[in-house]
Amino acid sequence: MKEIFRHIKGDRAIWAIVAVLAIFSFMPVYSASTNLVYVVGNGSTLGHLVKHIVLLVIGFLIIYGVHKIPYRYFSGGSVLLLPVVVLLLIVTISQGRTIGGANASRWIQIPFVGVGFQTSTLAGLVLMVYVARYLARKKEQVIDFRESLIQLWLPVGIILILILPANFSTTAILFTMILLVVFIGGYPLKYIGYVLGMGFVGLSLFILVAKAFPEAMPNRVSTWESRIEGFFNKSEGVENYQVEKAKIAIATGGVIGKGPGKSVQKNFLPQSSSDFIYAIIVEEYGLIGSLLVIFVYFLLLFRILITAKKCTTIFATLLVIGVGLPIIFQAMINMAVAVNLFPVTGQTLPLISSGGTSIWMTCFGLGMILSVSASKNETEETILDDNPLDILHETID
C-alpha cells in the first residue's frame, strides 16, 4: 500500500473523493441498469456493472497518467489540439444519423472498439485550458478588445457553434464557464458585456436559420422549445414523462430510502442509469443519501478551490478553476433536473452515471488539477514562454 501511495502525487483529498464517488456508483448503476435489461432488452445487469467498472478503471488510469504530466505542457497542448478538436466536431456533426436511437451528431464511433466518443466533452476541456492560457499571457497587459476577438473569442465561437446544433446544454454550460473564468482572469467587465450581446445575437440568428431551413437541422430547435415549454407548462411529452417518474422516485424515497436495489421507478424511468440516476439514488438511499452525495461534490469543490488558492502561477489558478468548476456545475445541473428545478438537459452525474466519454473526460480534468497540486516552484515564464511544438520535440526525444 505504501508503494502505491508513493507514486500518487497531488491532493490526497481529491484522490479520496474521486474514489468514494466511483465506488458508490457501483450500486446505483447496477440497480438502474435493470431498465436497460428488462425494458430495452440490452445485455445483463452484471454486464452493465462490469462495463461501468472497466470504464472507471480506465478513468483512474487516465487520472494517474495525466497527473504525472507537468501542467505546463497543457498550455501548449491546448493550442495544438484546437484544430484537431474542430476537425473532430466537423466530422461528428456531419454524420447526420442515429446510434441506438440517439442523435449521432454528438458522437463518433471509435474504430475497432465499438465505443461511442462524445467529442464535445473533449472540445470543452481543450477550450477551457486555451482560455486559461490566453488570460495568463495577458495578465500584465491592457487587453485590446479587437485583438481578443481574434485570439480568444474566434476559437471559442467556432467550437461553440459546432457544438450548438446537437447539444445546446453543453454549449450553454461551456459559455457560462468561459465567462466566469475570463471574469476571474481580469478580462474587462465591459468587454464581457459585449461578448454576451454577441452570443445572444448569434443564438438568435441560429434559431432563425434553423426555423427557415428545418431540413438542415431537423428537430433541434423544436426539441429545445418542447423541453422549455414542458418545464413551464407541464404538458405531455417524453421529457415530462421522465420528470414525473423522477418526482415519484424522489417522493417515495423518504428519509432513509427503500434500500439498495429496491427502486421501483428504475423500471419505468428512461436514462435511469445516466441522466436521471440521482432520482434513483434518492429513492433507494433517501434524503440522507442524497444529501451525502451533494456534500461529497461540495467537498470536491472546496478542495478544487483550495488547490487554486495554493497555485504559484496565474495559468495554474485559471486551469484549476476552468476544468474543475464545470465538473461541479454539471453535477448541480444533473441533480436540479432530477428534482425538477431545471429543464431536461441530458447532462450526466460526474463519476456516478454510466457512460464512457463523460467519465474519461472528467478524469482527464481531475488529472490536470492533481498535476497542478503536485507541482512546486513553477513560474509563469517557464509555462507560457514554451513554444507548443516543444511538447512534440520532447516527446520524440
Q: What average pLDDT does range 20-38 have in this prediction?
A: 86
Give me the half-sphere count of Cα atoms (radius 13 Å) on the Cβ side of residue 265: 30
Q: What average pLDDT does range 72-92 have in this prediction?
A: 91
Does position 192 have pLDDT exceeding 90, yes or no?
yes
Task: Let me know: does 372 contact 303? Beta carbons within 8 Å.
Answer: no
Instruction: Give the pLDDT band (50/70/90) at residue 48.
Output: confident
First vs last C-alpha separation in the chain: 33
Nearest-angstrom CA–CA distance, 147 and 153: 9
Q: What percent of the chain has pLDDT over 70?
A: 80
Does position 383 have pLDDT exceeding 70, yes or no?
no
User: Which residues touch 341 (CB under 8 Å, ≥6 apart)?
Assistant: none
Q: In this predicted structure, which of 174-188, 201-215, 332-346, 353-367 has the lowest mean pLDDT?
A: 201-215
Does position 237 have pLDDT exceeding 60, yes or no?
no
Q: In this predicted structure, which of 116-125, 193-202, 361-370 has the lowest mean pLDDT?
A: 116-125
Q: What is the pLDDT of residues 87-137, one digit of tens each?
A: 989 888 877 544 444 444 566 766 655 566 788 889 999 999 999 999 998
Predicted pLDDT at 392: 45
Task: Let me know: does 206 contact 164? Beta carbons within 8 Å.
Answer: yes
Instruction: Give the pLDDT band (50/70/90) at residue 247.
Output: confident
Q: What average pLDDT does range 47-70 have in this prediction?
A: 91
Nearest-angstrom CA–CA distance, 387 and 377: 20
Does position 395 have pLDDT exceeding 70, yes or no?
no
Does position 397 have pLDDT exceeding 50, yes or no?
no
Predicted pLDDT at 99: 46
Taking CA 330 as the corner, what is the angle to CA 328 and CA 331, rounded to the nearest 5 degrees? 65
Does position 256 have pLDDT exceeding 60, yes or no?
yes
Predicted pLDDT at 207: 81
User: Which residues touch 190 (CB under 8 Å, ≥6 apart)?
Assistant: none
How far, CA to CA in Å, does 372 sit from each of 200, 244, 377, 392? 35, 43, 11, 21
Nearest-angstrom CA–CA distance, 152 and 246: 40
Closest CA to 122 of 143, 98, 91, 150: 91
Q: For all residues of the chain together, what is the average pLDDT?
A: 83
Closest CA to 300 of 279, 326, 337: 326
Grid coordinates of 224:
429545445
